[in-house]
Each structure stands twice: as structure tokens, then as C-alpha cells.
Structure 1
Amino acid sequence: MSHSPARSGRRADARQNAEKIVQAAVACLGRNAEASMNDIAREAGVGRVTLYGHFPSREALVEAALIRLLAQGNEVLKAVDLTGDPRDGLRALVESGWLLIAQAASVLQAAQTALPSGRVQELHAKPEQRVHDLIRRGQAERVFRVDIPADLLASVLHHILHGAATDVVAGRLDPTDAPRFVAEMALAVCAVPPATLGTD
């Protein structure tokens, strides 16, 4: 059964409106974690009826914005070569992902307020798996410390990244210095303690 041109046109318009709304949410929440649905509707150039027709609550829209940013970040990070020395991989991963994390800091702040903490962790699970796997390989190759669980090291790195992003947003850290500082801190956290070097 074929669809009428009018119905197909309405569906295309609906998809276009939904895309505009998510893009507007990313932009508004990126500037202000407390941006309202009205702010986002104005940014998208749509009315409240259209906005709520696609996203029935602010929570749903905040989640869609975070999912969009995480997907964009995943595309960038997939291109990072992690096959060599895990220390080089960690530095490349941090430096490549830094800008994305900084841009997402305000959106993440909105998500942490609007969404259950378990949901935020669930959405981050796939991107963070890349870090966990790299740390475990570094531990297996004895270039990362093994006295602390990989999951805990990854959690510490997560807090370093988002803490630095918060400082950039607050004007306490120069964004041009942040990638180097964060990479150095990440490597320091994972480094094998000097007392254990050369021991079995």
C-alpha cells in the first residue's frame, strides 16, 4: 500500500522538526544547563505544541540531547588508534575526547539534575567501555598499575575529565591548557608506582 504524498510530507516535516528541536536543546543546554522548554522552542523556531508533541517532558528532551552528544563523541573516538602502547592510547583518547567533553559539560550537568543517576551512567556505559578496555590492556602489559581495579581507575579518570570541564566552564581553567593537563593527570593516575617497577 503506497503512502500519499501529503502523509509522507507530514512525516518528513515531523522528522525535520524533531531534529531541529534536539539541535536546539544541545545548543541551549550547552550554554545554560537550566535552559527551559520555552528557551529551546524559541531556539528551534517551533511552538510549544510542536515541541511537546515530540518530547513530552524536559527530561525526555535532555536525554535526547545527551544521547546526541554521546553519539557524536563516539564517532570521533572510534577513529583514535588504541592498538599501540596503552599509554599513548590513553593520551590520544583524552586529548581527542577533551573538546567533546568540555562542550558536553553543561548538557551533562542538566542530565544529572533531570535524569535518574542510573540512567546517566547507563548512557555513558558504551563510551566508557573503551576506556575500561584500554586500562585493562595496560594492566595486562604491566604499563598501568595493577594494585587498583581497572573500573576504579576509569572512574577516577571520568571525574578528572568532568572536573576539568567544569573548571573551564567556570573560567578557572584555560581551555587551551586543559587537554595537556588532563592527559598528564590521567597518565599519572594509571602509572605504575615507582616502588613496583622492575618487580614481578
Structure 2
Amino acid sequence: MPVTTGRRADAQRNVAAILDAAGARLVRDPDASVSDIATAAGVGRVTLYGHFASRTELVDAVFVRAMARAHEALDAVDLGGDARQALARLVGSSWQVVDESRMLLVAAQRALPPERIRDLHENPMRRVRSLLDRGRADGVFRSDLPADWLVAVFYTVVHGAADELGAGRLAADAAPGAITATLLAALTPPGDPVPAPV
């Protein structure tokens, strides 16, 4: 019994070390190899493959963990009050998460099918949908376009900003304001003045 428990604890430590190393390596280099990750984790390739059958499976596990952590961080965002101000707060927090893990997203996009990446964004997008629905009910966000389309616009603008940052065409500290201004322009009902980003 103690031997089994010890092996299980060792396996859990190995998995945690592999995921930590993979996350750190993929953030620096989205094409990091399994050998690089195993070395960084202090385990052999055989041990790594004993827990993750392929690099794709490992990238998926790292991305799942990153999305779970992002969800926890975004849970702390105050989405009460005026929906437009709440949008600005959500963009600020979302951008921080995206900025910290944008190269991990690149790794995921190279390894995983687009529908898998979209599925893993379901919880954050549910939060966006809820905020948009409230803003539409309050009359501050447009209701003439499908809500799902507006959620897709949010997702596309935030990730587009990450691409622009990676290309050197957008500064990290300017991104939240640019994203918020773009989204407010897209979400404001036709004919209403577009509010300045808060």
C-alpha cells in the first residue's frame, strides 16, 4: 500500500512538473519540442510519454489548465453596474490573461483543431454573453445583430489584438484601450453616440 501511494504521488509530481515546464516553454517558444519540455521538467521522454501519449495531448492539457486558471481570474472581475463600464473592466482583465498566455494560444492553434480551442473558450465566452445580454436588455448594446455574432466579435477583437502585439504593431499597454474602443463602437446601438472608453 505505501509503495502504491508513493508511486501515485511521484506520478502526480511528474505530471505537475511536466505541465509547469510545458507551460513555461510553450509561452517562450510555441514550437518547443517534447525533448525540450522533458528536460525542463527534469524527466525523461519515456516518463513524459507515459503521462501524455503525444505532444498534441500535452499541449491540450496545458491549454486546458491555462483556460481553467483564466476562468478563475476572470471570476474576480466585477461585472455589476453599467454594462459598458463592466465591459471595460472585463477587457482589461481578459487582456491581461491573453497577453500572458498568447504564445500558448499560438502553440494550441498549431496543435489543436479550431473547434477544440473554441470549446475551451466556452466558459469565458459564457461570461461575455451574459454581459452582452444584460447590456442589450438595458438598451446600451445593440440588439439588431445576433448575440452569438457579438460574442464572436469580442473573441475576434481580443485575439486580433494579441496577433497585432506579436507582430509589433500594437503596444501591450495600448491594447486594452484599443480593444474597448473597438468593442464599444461595434456594440453601441445604431444612431446612439459611442461612449469614450472608461
Q: TM-score range by the shorter chain?
A: over 0.9
Counterpart for residue 183 of structure 1: 180
Secondary structure, aligned partner of 1:176: coil
- How many residues align? The count is 194
In 2, distance between residues paired with 1:25 and 1:132? 31
Query: Match of 1:173?
Result: 170
- How big is the shift at 1:194? 2.0
Q: Counterpart in 1 of 2:60? A: 63
Match in the other structure for 1:134: 131
CA RMSD of aligned residues (A): 1.6
Task: After TM superposition, give the deviation of residue 125 of structure 1 in Å.
Answer: 1.0
1:27-74 per-residue CA deviation (whole Å, 9 max, x = no partner) reads: 111112111111111221111011101111011111111111111111
Cα distance per residue 1:57-109 (max 9 Å; x no partner) = 01111111111111111111101111211111111001011111112222112
Q: Tell me by how many angstroms 1:195 deviates.
A: 5.7
What residue in structure 2 maps to residue 192 of structure 1?
189
Question: In 1, distance between residues paired with 2:26 and 2:183?
Answer: 28
Alignment partner, residue 152 of structure 1: 149
C-alpha separation in 2, matches of 1:196 and 1:66 = 39
Q: Which runs of 4+ in 1 moved over 3 A?
A: none
TM-score by length of 1: 0.91
Aligned to 1:92: 89
Distance in 2 of aligned mates of 1:97 and 1:145 = 22
1:76 equivalenced with 2:73 (yes/no): yes
Gapped regions of structure 1 (runs ≥ 5): none
Q: Structure 2: where are the runs of 5+ without partners?
A: none
Residue 158 of structure 1 deviates from its aligned partner by 0.8
Question: Could you tell me the TM-score, scaled by structure 2's length?
Answer: 0.92
Amino acid at match of 1:25: A
Distance 1:138 1:195 in 2: 14
Q: 1:196: how far off?
A: 9.2
Identity fraction in percent: 47
Alignment-derived partner of residue 25 in structure 2: 28
Q: Secondary structure at the match of 2:140?
A: coil
The 3-state SS of whatever aligns with 2:139 is coil
Partner Cα separation in structure 2 for residue 57 and residue 124 of structure 1: 22
Report the 3-state secondary structure (helix = DSSP H, G, I; strand = E; otherwise coil) of the residue aligned with 1:194.
coil
The separation in 2 between residues aligned to 1:99 and 1:81, in whole angstroms, is 15
